[in-house]
Amino acid sequence: MQKIRFLFWNLNRNRPFEEIVNIVEHHQIDVLIMAEVNFNLALLVVELAQRGHNFFHNPISQCDKIKILTRFKENFLKPVSESGRYSINILELPLLEKILLASVHVPDKSHNTPDDQEEFCRDFVEQVKREEIEREIVKTVLVGDFNMNPFETAMIKSTGLHAVSSSKVSEKLTRTVQEKDYKFFYNPMWSWLGDIRSEAIGSYYYNTSNHINFFWNTFDQVLIRPELIPNFDKEALQILDKDGVKSLLTANGFPNKTYSDHLPLYFTLNLNLV
């Protein structure tokens, strides 16, 4: 068994190179997934190398919204389906079981309706299912900026991502609705809805003068297929409010927009020998 450490961070078109390198070093990140990147990845690769971390990227990736750097050479993390907003890859390391890694940046609420987001998620999850069937993979992880909280319709609807808060419920594998079976995802991010676990109560803070205001939102999430739950370390899951050296929050406790308006998401998977 080998532990693989993942980090997802929507950079909001900023360049927090020092903070990324600090996180990589502190958490020993293996797979670094980023959204809203507006720089040449080679620049970050150089910064990482200067601190002794050798990372690679796939130069043929067709996804604009998602960029991935990894300690593994490109033949171990291969894109199998991509669009402008998602990248679906097979992670297959020597002697270890393979998984499907799907990274996504769902359209935001500023320019899209909930119906638009729902239609995107429907198409996205259908593509994930096609790849699972074609590649004969049942262990799938979805990660990214969903621009929705875990309780919103497209996240939980059977024809959407169908991501539930209970690992025991998801272990039933499917749910039948009007004579059709829908596969589950397990969404551990439900446990971040509140201030018990961390000073950062979500991954994105937005204050409005509307009557309904959540303040903290958990837009950045990781979803896993029930078959992958035994590989997933629930206790390791974190929304990071520090880079290992300094805080990523302002003095008031909100995401410091100097780095990004989102906080990074860290999780691990233990892959079994085959």
pLDDT at 73: 84
Say yes or no to pLDDT of 66 above 90.
Answer: yes
Split at pLDDT 50, 70, 90, the class of 56 is: very high
Residue at 129: amino acid letter: K
**How confident is the model over 167-176, as pLDDT tens digits?**
999 999 999 9
Distance in angstroms (rounded) separating the CA atoms of residues 232 and 255: 27
Q: Which CATH architecture does the domain made up of 2-271 adopt? A: 4-Layer Sandwich (3.60)
Which helix (H) or strand (E) is 125 found in, with range?
helix 114-135
In this predicted model, what pLDDT tens digit does every residue of 85-110 receive, in sequence order? 999 999 999 999 999 999 999 999 88
Contacts of 122 (CB under 8 A, 6+ apart): 154, 159, 160
Q: Which of 7, 131, 140 is nearest to 69 (CA)?
A: 7
Domain ranges of the chain: 2-271
Percent of the chain at pLDDT > 90 equals: 87
**pLDDT score recorded for residue 233:** 95
147 pLDDT tier (thresholds 50, 70, 90): very high
Encode 7-44 in three state secondary structure.
Answer: EEEECCCCCCHHHHHHHHHHHCCCEEEEECCCCCHHHH
